[in-house]
A and B are shown apart, each in its own frame.
Chain A
């Protein structure tokens, strides 16, 4: 396991369709993040998991978005009834949190979503 992997790398979907993205974190990492990045902006926080528990969600994460991390391993991010405004790069990251110390997060290559 050499890093965080995301699948697919690119997704083109029609407005109104559902899409699901997968993230496989670094295997020993207990924390997993989802971020969204639009053109010309830095990544914006969507949600994070500590092991299998989803502990925080951004207000950016509307009811159409849902994320899971069964068994604290891989994670999925689903967007229902996609809208053109959902077009963005979706980034997954993972980190190993020990004793509350801040540590770096390692990112995957992202899934670029285009809603047409």
Chain B
């Protein structure tokens, strides 16, 4: 079975600063994908970034980057140059190649302060 742990229930960041949201995972599958989603108060889960377990380089998508440390089983999300619109819940998720469902953490609430 897979498990995702997000230990930061809430985070605050000053506008234009960078912030790191932590995520650790546990799986016995050698091949898997890691994902980050953003959930604003409206409820929609918005896909942000993906990292494959065999990818050699850390994934980046605009202001989002994923700090993937395979040996530590961590997949932290880094948001650079925070904007007020980044205030939302952020969920880390994973899916093993041999599995069919996405497993989600409990989320981190990010508040960007002007």
Interface residues of A (CB under 8 A from B): 33, 35, 40-45, 48, 55-56, 58, 89, 91, 93, 100-110, 112
Contacts and interface: CB of A to CB of B under 8 A. Distances in A.
Interface in B66-114: 91, 93, 95-97, 100-107
Interface of B: 4, 31-33, 35, 37, 42-47, 50, 52, 91, 93, 95-97, 100-107
B93 to A, nearest CB: 8
Contacts of B43: 89, 109-110, 112
Given A42-B107, A102-B31, A110-B43, 14 more contacts: A44-B104, A48-B100, A56-B100, A93-B45, A101-B97, A102-B32, A102-B95, A103-B33, A103-B50, A104-B47, A104-B50, A107-B45, A107-B46, A112-B43
> Lowest 4 A-B CB distances belong to which pairs?
A42-B104, A102-B33, A107-B45, A45-B101
A43 B91 contact: yes
8 contacts: A33-B101, A40-B106, A42-B105, A45-B102, A101-B97, A102-B31, A105-B35, A108-B44
Given A40-B106, A41-B106, A102-B95, A107 B100 contact: no
Which of B33, B100, B106 has the most chain A CB atoms inside 10 A of its CB? B100
